[in-house]
Amino acid sequence: MKAKLTLICAMVAISLLLLACSPKEASLEVSCDDFMELQHISKEVEVRVDGSLTVTLCSNLTTGFQWSEVAQISDQTTLQQTSHEFVPPEAKGVEGAAGKEV
């Protein structure tokens, strides 16, 4: 009985420690090259319940390759979109260059 209780306490302590180590903020970026090379893109991230996730995707408004301003999230109690912005390409004066949507 004592060994079982010690094991349970150790498991609870480890779980709490892992939860505390989860990042409050996480980011995920998918480049234009990734979109051109891969048919399916799957990434896994871990964020605390009260944390935030920033998703940055390649976008090129001049070619029509852009993302919807409103994300299609099936469970708004789990994840909510708080903002959406287009970030122009870093190179100035380059017509047709891809930017990013965050």
- Which segments in the chain show pLDDT lower than 70? 1-22
Question: Residue 63: what pLDDT?
Answer: 83
Tally Cβ neighbours within 10 Å of residue 100: 20
Query: What pLDDT, on a 0 to 100 scale, did the predictor assign at position 102?
Result: 93
* Whole-prediction pTM: 0.69
* Type of residue at 57: L
Residue 83: the pLDDT is 92
What's residue 85's pLDDT? 93
What's the CA gap between 40 and 63, in Å, rounded?
A: 21
d(CA 54, CA 71): 13
> Domain map of the chain by residue range?
24-101
Which run of H or of E encompasses 10? helix 2-21
